[in-house]
Amino acid sequence: MSLTDSKMQESISWWRGGVIYQIYPRSFLDSNGDGIGDLPGITEKLDYVASLGVDGIWLSPFFTSPMLDFGYDISDYRDVDPMFGTLGDFKALLKRAHALGLKVMIDQVISHTSDQHPWFQESRQDRTNDKADWFVWADPKPDGTPPNNWLSIFGGAAWTFDSRRRQYYLHNFLKSQPDVNFHHPEARQAQLDNMRFWLELGVDGFRLDTVNFYFHDTALRDNPPVPEGEAKTLGAPDSNPYTWQRHVYDLSRPENLDFLKELRALMNEFPGTTTVGEIGDDNPLERMAEYTAGGDKLHMAYTFDLLNAPHSPAYIREVVDRFQRLAGDAWPCWALSNHDVVRSATRWGADEDPVAYPKVALAMALSLRGSICLYQGEELGLPEADVPFERIQDPYGKVLWPEFKGRDGCRTPMPWTHSEQGGFSQVEPWLPVEERHLPLAVANQQGDANSVLNATRTLLAFRRQHAALIEGDIHLVEVGEELLGFVREGSQERLLCVFNLSDKTLSTTLPQSGTPLRGHGFISTLDGNTLTLPPYQAAFLSLDH
C-alpha cells in the first residue's frame, strides 16, 4: 500500500479507535444571551475542543422541536431549532470544525418523533390516510385497556389512547414521542432520506439514539417479568418499573439487523462517515457484538456497562472479558459519562480523590480496545451538579423524584471561567451553574500543570503516539484483585497497562518484564518484575514484541 493510499485509508477509518467529544448544545456556550447554549457558541469554542487532541465531536440534538424532551422529540429532522440558531449557523460550525481537523457527528433520533411532527399529525387523523400506518397503532383490549403490558422508560404504560382513531399508539418514552413503525417500508425509507440530507451537507457520521428500539413485535406479545432474584441489567434505576420486565418483544427485534444493513449501505455511499449506536438492552454486550460485527451494520456501538454504578477492577475485567468472548470483529465505543447518567467523577469517584481519580479513570478508558466518547466537562473532572427540585427540567426526573432526580445534574452549563454564570451566559441559564464547578473552570485549569484538563491533553497525546492503544487487540493479565491490567498488542508494539483505581499503594509481580514508558503523566516504581503503584496511578510498559 502506498503512503497516499495509507493516509486515505486512515482518513476513512478515523473512527476506529478515535476519541469523540460529546457536546450537549443547550449547555456548552450561550452566544446570544438567552440562557441557552447554541450553535454559534459551539463554533466559538471549537479551538478549545481541538486543543484537547480529540478526533471529532458529537452534537446532541439541535433540530426543530417542542423541547419536551430537550430535542429528543423532533418535529423537523432537516432544520435547526431557532433557539440553537439556523441551518447557516450549522454550516459555519461544520466548516470551522473541518478546518480544525475535527469530524462532526450528529444525533439521529429516528425511532420516534415528536407528536407535533407533520407525519404524526396526519397519521392520527384517521385509519385511512397516507401515513396511517407510519406509527405503531393498536386496538384496545375489549375492556378498553392498553394492548399489552409494555412500559415507557419515563414511567407508566407505553401506550396512549387517541380518541380520533379510537386506538392506542406506542411510545417507549414520553407520550409526546410516538414510535415510528419501522415495519412500514415508506416510513423506514423516509428516515433514511432524512439522514441522507445531513450526509450530503457534509456531516461525518451519526450517533443513533436507542438504536435497538426501531422494531417491535407485531403480535404485541406481553413482556415476561424479571424472575425473582435475577439481575436487572437495563440502564434505568431500580425505582423504575421498566426494569421489572425482560424486554423481549418491545425492542431488539431480529428485523432490526436488516435495517442496520440498509443504513450501512447508505453510509457506504459517503466514505469516511461512521455510526455509533446507543444500546439499552437486557443483554447489552451481546447486542453490541451483534450490531457491529461483520462490517455490514453499525460501525460501533456503546452500552451502559461502564455508565452504571459498578466500577471495581473485577467488574471492569468482567465487562472486558465478556465482550472479548463475544466480539469477533465487532467494535465497541466506551464512555464513562454522557448526558443520560450521573457524571463519573461522582458515580464512581464520590469517595475518591476529586483530582487524581478522574485522571486514572480516564487513563483506563482511553486504554481499552475500542473508540471513546468523552463528555463535555469530563476533561475538567466535573462532579454531578446538585439541581434543586424547583429547577428540575428533565421530565424523567419529575416523574421519579426523589428516588431518581433525573438527568439534569449532568447537563448543567459548562464552566469556562470562575465568574458569575461560569462564563456560559450573561443571564440566568436554563439550568443553574453548579457552584462547585466554578473552581474547576477551563480558565482555572489551563495554566495548572496538575489539572485534570492538562492530564487529559497529556493522555490523548500519549494515546496518539502508541498505535497499539488505538488499533491493538486486548488481553487481560493477572495483576491481583485490586489492580486492573491488560496488554494492548498492535502490529508494531505490545503495551502492558496497569491501573490502581484505589486510594492505597499497591504492588504486583508482573507476568513478564517490560520497559516503563513516559509521557503519560503517571508515576510508578519497577523493581525487577515487581511493579508498585501509588494511589490513583497507572503504568504503561513496553513489552518484547
**pLDDT single digits (tens) 91-116:** 999 999 999 999 999 999 999 999 99
Q: What pLDDT digit, counting tens, does each position of 378-432 carry?
A: 999 999 999 999 999 998 777 777 777 889 999 999 999 999 999 999 999 999 9
Complete edge-to-edge strand list for the sheet that includes strand 103-108:
300-302, 274-278, 205-208, 103-108, 56-59, 19-23, 371-375, 333-335
> 295, exposed or middle or buried, with CB in 10 Å at 0-12, 13-18, 19+?
exposed
Question: In the annotation, is 352 catalytic?
Answer: no
> 476, exposed or middle or buried, with CB in 10 Å at 0-12, 13-18, 19+?
middle
Topology of the domain covering 14-112+185-462: TIM Barrel (3.20.20)
What pLDDT sits at residue 86? Answer: 98
Rounded to whole angstroms, how far apart are CA atoms 26 and 83?
Answer: 9
Written as nine digits, the cell of 88 is: 447557516
In the chain, CATH 3.20.20.80 covers 14-112+185-462
Q: State which H helix or E strand residue 276 sits in.
A: strand 274-278
Torsion angle of alpha carbons 461, 452, 533, 527, nearest 10°?
40
Mean pLDDT of 167-188: 98
| 323 and 357 Cβ atoms separated by less than 8 Å | no
Catalytic residue of the set 126, 186, 230, 269: 269
Rounded alpha-carbon distances, angstroms, from residue 523 to 182, 313, 360, 485: 53, 19, 11, 16
- The CATH label, of 2.40.30.130, 3.30.1490.20, 2.60.40.1180, 2.40.340.10, for the domain at 473-543 is 2.60.40.1180
Rounded to whole angstroms, how far apart are CA atoms 284 and 286?
Answer: 5
Written as nine digits, the cell of 35 is: 440562557
In the chain, CATH 2.60.40.1180 covers 473-543
What pLDDT sits at residue 327? Answer: 84
Catalytic residue of the set 115, 209, 278, 408: 209
Q: What pLDDT digit, counting tens, does each position of 251-293 carry?
A: 999 999 999 999 999 999 999 999 999 999 999 999 999 999 9
CA-atom Rg of the chain in angstroms = 23
Rounded to whole angstroms, how far apart are CA atoms 145 and 141?
Answer: 5
Query: In this structure, what are the phi and psi dihedrals at residue 136, rounded to the nearest 5 degrees?
Result: -95, 105
Question: In the annotation, is 209 catalytic?
Answer: yes
| 506 and 532 Cβ atoms separated by less than 8 Å | yes
What pLDDT sits at residue 1? Answer: 45
pLDDT band at 133 (very low <50, low <70, confident <90, very high): very high
Q: What pLDDT digit, counting tens, does each position of 200-220 carry?
A: 999 999 999 999 999 999 999
